[in-house]
Structure 1
Amino acid sequence: MKTKLVLILSLLSIAVWSQPKVTTAVDSVKNKIGAEFKLSLKTNVDTLSKVKFPESKFFGALEVLESYKVDTVKKGDRYELIKKYGLTQFDSGKYTIPRIPIIINGKTVYSDSLAIEISDVKVDTLKQKMFDIKDIATVKSPMGNWWIYVLVVIGLIGLGFLIFYLLKNRKPKAKAEVIVYKTPIEKATTLLQQLESKELWQKGAVKDYYSELTDIVRNYIEEEIKIPAMESTTSELIEGLRKAAKQKKLKLSNDTVENLEKVLQQADLVKFAKVTPMDYEIEEDKKRISNTIVTIHKSIPEVVETEDELALWNEQQKEKARLEKLKREKRKKMAIIVGSAAFLILGTLGFFVATKGFDYVKDNLIGHPTKELLEGEWVYSQYGNPGVKIETPKVLMRQDASKILPKNAMALIKEMQIFTYGSMIDDFYIGVSTSTFKEETKIDLEQAAEGSIKIFETQGASNILVKTEEFDTQKGITGRKAYGTLSMVDKVSGKSTKMYYEILIFAQSNGIQQITVLQREDDQYAKKIGERMLNSVELKIAQ
């Protein structure tokens, strides 16, 4: 049942899946500080397999003293490969050798994680001469280098002033002159003249020439006859042109439409089939497009604009110019406002950084999530069965245990309830869980703590340092406390963050009550939150 218990706690976040077998062993699970542990990784493969063992200076929190050569033992048509590493650690405590990746035939296989313990070396104080503790050393105040802070403030103020000055006196960029064409025919004929002046096809850019040529005629037809010519295929355009000619009673001959169709088809061959027409064919296509545009223009009934219509058009153009000027002035004012705000903000931040320090600015001006949690309104609630009473900065949310644990683990559990805030990949996490087993189980809290640590490994934690000790609630209920540090890697940015964790585990009435807190190691506010929560823990006595 101990094995079942560890299995359940290890699978709280993901299920265990099978991998090619790698046997993991260590010559000793207990040793002195600085002594060598020999870790052995063994795998059995065929003669054609390629196996690559990792080479690293550290496995978790353990230093690799030596990476021994791979021993190869032939057994019939297979090889048994044995790789040994010499590991050590110079700080006492309980450590976990993490799962180590071995690449077999291009696939990654992981070894098992192992728990080891390193104990202090006892010192004989009768033979070893002892010395008094040295006096407290005086540390110079960081404000001793006051001139550095003055320079920072001056630099920030200067930067803000420079931004303000540049934005205020920024001259609008000279915009390219926009040519306004009064009619579609004027625009089309002008663009045709400009296209010829580029001499694209004479320089070998036949595809570019035909693209611009057909765009000119398509754009003209779209503006003049009001049909979607730019996004239509050749056949769709010709069909649409014929329909528009009938509806609007345009005097277009079949020869005009057919000539346009020939040029468009030729252009399709040039653009998509890499066909290169002869020079005389290109000249002929250009004439066909020019004649088509002129013919379409002449076929449209002439509309004579009255003086009132011309006056209205002029007024519209003046109003358009006025609105454009207002937009430019508005953008300039906004730039001045933004520059002024940046100047004030940078100056204020610079002043507080120099006088109060960066931590003060971050906590009181920029904002700090865990500081807000610490200073906010806390909630004292009871969770699970048997109940766990705890004070938290936010109400913990119930999770569905059946979606977290696999079916084989749930089959062993009579009842399980999980409540969390945050997640294990966030900078701050709280978890409370209670569970009772169907069968009578002797619960080993030390093993239960080890199983909980494995949850961190499944979430990508490494360099896990583990220490355990007894923990008593205010009412004298005794449990086990596991605590230490680990490194958690952000899967998106790839950045590693050092985290501090504490786990409280209690055994009552054939069940387990557990509280987990995970936070950034350097977050002083999260540390205070954790202390306040764990000091408030009380358990409902199981009946």
Structure 2
Amino acid sequence: MKKILYILLLFTTSLFAQKVTTSIDSTKKKIGAEFKLTIKTDVDTFSKVKFPNGKFFGNLEVLESYKIDTIRTGNRYELIKKYGLTQFDSGKYLVPKLPVIINGKKVFSDSIKIEISDVKVDTLKQKMYDIKNIIPVKSDFGNWWIYLLILLGLAVIGYFVYRFIKKKKTEEKPVVIEFKSPIEKATSLLQQLEKKELWQKGEIKNYYSELTDIARNYIEEEIQIPAMESTTSELILGLRNAAKQKKLKLSAETVENLEKVLKQADLVKFAKVKPLDFEIEEDKKRISNSIVTIHNSIPEIVEENDELELWNEQQKEKARLEKLKKEKRKRIIIGVSVSVFLIVTTLGVLIAIKGFDYVKDNFIGHPTKDLVEGEWIFSEYGNPTVKIETPKVLKRMDAEKVLPKNAMALIKEMQIFMYGSLTDDFYIGVSTATFKQQVQLDLEQAAEGSLKVFEAQGATNIFVKTEEFDTQQGIKGRKAYGTMVMVDKISGKSVKMYYEILVFGQNNGLQQITIMHREDDKYGKQMLERILNSVELQNISQP
């Protein structure tokens, strides 16, 4: 019967060949008493075994980790490790699966459920005290001037930080070397390039990129053609046309040598070709000779060139417009920086006065707060019917796709509805089922089955308490509640969750409601209380 119930609650387990056995001296003790947990391994004499170590196993504190006992049987060892565990709060706890490393591989021990009961106190002999009066809380807004000083202090700090950064940027501006002529600039840059020894260090692509940029920049400044923006073929064509128009004394060999280097550079940059050392030396000489030859081929200008003056004027106007553009961009950056600073400062002051929760709820956003304040829906789900009020309509899941076929053969009808998932900030689940055959339902076992589902989904440190629960119609059920740790899929961090599970069994049918939210989420707590107060069940035990 328990097997059928576990299948109903979506619990599946896998059996692994284990080398580890687990036992405990008792499953029920009083607060503070010691549980002795024993883990045994059966290995050969060459195996290396490492038992778990830590101050806590789940919610249980490790009082003592005893020495390992060894029993040899032939060519095998039985290693016995004992731990002393305790807990100082009553309730039902789970000794989690513990990893035992055998020859570098993890083998997990079995989880064991234990129960810790309260120590009975004789309240007749305990003196009783009256409830204390309400203590008024002083408002912090009387010290408004402190927050004003904080705001002013932050503003002053921000101003000096801005001045420091601005001064730093001014000091870090690179020193610009001015050259008298393009040939002087090109020659100096070629010498600096050789001192870097890029291709000797294996940076061939960077070497060819700088080498050809020097040649292109020289041609653009000396002959006034757009060499930096042109492809290799466009540059060579433009150079030949300029040679005809300006009557440059350029030989075909000079242009061909320049074209060879540019094409070689294209292959290095885009086809990942790696020239040999002597080829690199030859390309360097071709570029140097081409620059000198182009310089010597330019005829001396005796009269003023009107076209050159027009080009110079255009360049001056272009530089002026570029300067205005940079100043405008600078003003935008300063404006945005000041706005961001004011926003951050304002939020900081609000956090200091109102607290982080106030800022998060009203400025940053809180998803569960939106659910609380949204329009709720009161609807019916499943058979036997569960009436419940929720912030969103629950989505129907296909039970046949979730459960195996042999399990569905035992169930007459099953319906599942949910919102969110077990790893979200808030989760609601409603499931109903009726069996084909008469089944004696154990609600306590049903709640434990749901906890097994949590554990299969990656939940750890599960703390659980159970008690009876009555609906407003007087239908009796069982409630399991407590906390567990789940892993946030987005941040990868562990999140402590609070959960409550309601289970009802009526006339060979099962009704279950599961609610979960972050433990520190006050809006999740508000939704849980509102949902539980709205629960209405179809009483199928009555005609």
The alpha-carbon distance between structure 1 residues 487 and 282, as it changes in their structure 2 partners (threshold 3 A), is closer
Higher RCO (CA-CA < 8 Å; seq separation 6+): 1
Q: Which residue in 2 is equivalent to 1:214?
A: 208
Contact persistence 1:252–1:299 (CA under 8 A): no
Alpha-carbon distance change, 240 to 372 in structure 1, aligned in 2, over 3 angstroms = closer
| SS at structure 2 position matched to 1:464 | strand
Q: Is the 8 A contact 1:164 1:336 kept in 2?
A: no
Question: Please, what TM-score do these two structures have when normalized by structure 1?
Answer: 0.77
Which residue does 2:446 correspond to in 1? 448
Corresponding residue number in structure 1 for 2:484: 486
Cα distance in structure 2, aligned partners of 1:276 and 1:326: 45
2:41 to 40, 43, 49: 43
1:311 counterpart residue number: 310
The CA distance in 2 between the partners of 1:352 and 1:220, in whole Å, is 56
SS at match of 1:342: helix
* Counterparts in 2 of 1:33 and 1:391: CA distance versus 1, 3 Å: same
Superposition pairs of residues 112-511 of structure 1, within 5 angstroms? 112-124=110-122, 129-133=125-129, 136=132, 141=137, 143=139, 150-163=145-158, 167=162, 171=166, 173-174=169-170, 175-176=173-174, 190-197=185-192, 200=195, 206-207=200-201, 214-219=208-213, 252-253=252-253, 257=257, 286-293=284-291, 307=306, 311=310, 314-315=313-314, 317-336=316-335, 338-340=337-339, 342-343=341-342, 346-347=345-346, 350=349, 353-354=352-353, 356-401=354-399, 404-405=402-403, 413-437=411-435, 439-490=437-488, 493=491, 495-511=493-509
Structure 1 SS opposite 2:110: coil
Distance, in Å, in 2 between the alignment partners of 1:151 and 1:19 is: 67
Letter matched to residue 374 of structure 1:
V
Displacement of 1:263 in angstroms is: 12
- For 2:158, give the aligned amino acid: I
Structure 1: gaps of 5 or more residues: none
- CA RMSD between the two structures: 4.8
Gaps of 5+ in 2: 245-249, 299-303
Aligned length: 521
Q: Which deviates further from its counterpart, 137-146 or 487-496?
A: 137-146
Query: C-alpha separation between the residues in 2 aligned to 1:486 and 1:519?
Result: 10
Report the alpha carbon displacement of residue 193 of structure 1 after superposing the two structures with TM.
2.4
Q: Where does residue 25 of structure 1 map in the other structure?
A: 23
Partner of 2:301: none
TM-score (norm 2): 0.77
Q: Deviations over 1:100-142 (max 9, x none)?
A: 121122122222222222222334567xx42222663875736
The verdict on how the C-alpha distance between 1:338 and 1:220 changes in structure 2, with shifts beyond 3 A counting, is closer
1:383-415 deviation digits (Å, cap 9, x = unpaired): 233332211112223344455556665665554
SS at match of 1:194: helix
Counterpart-to-counterpart distance in 2, 1:157 and 1:241: 60
The answer for the alignment partner of 2:247 in structure 1 is none
**Corresponding residue SS for 2:212:** helix
Separation in structure 2 between the aligned mates of residue 458 and residue 165 of structure 1, nearest angstrom = 55
CA contact (8 A) 1:217 1:293 kept: no
Percent same amino acid at aligned positions? 51
- Match for residue 87 of structure 2? 89
| Contact 2:179–2:185 (8 Å) recurs in 1 | no
Moved more, 512-521 or 396-405: 396-405
Q: Cα 1:284–1:412, aligned 2, differ >3 Å: closer, same or farther? A: same
For 2:415 and 2:364, the matched residues in 1 are separated by 37
Q: What does residue 62 of structure 1 align with?
A: 60
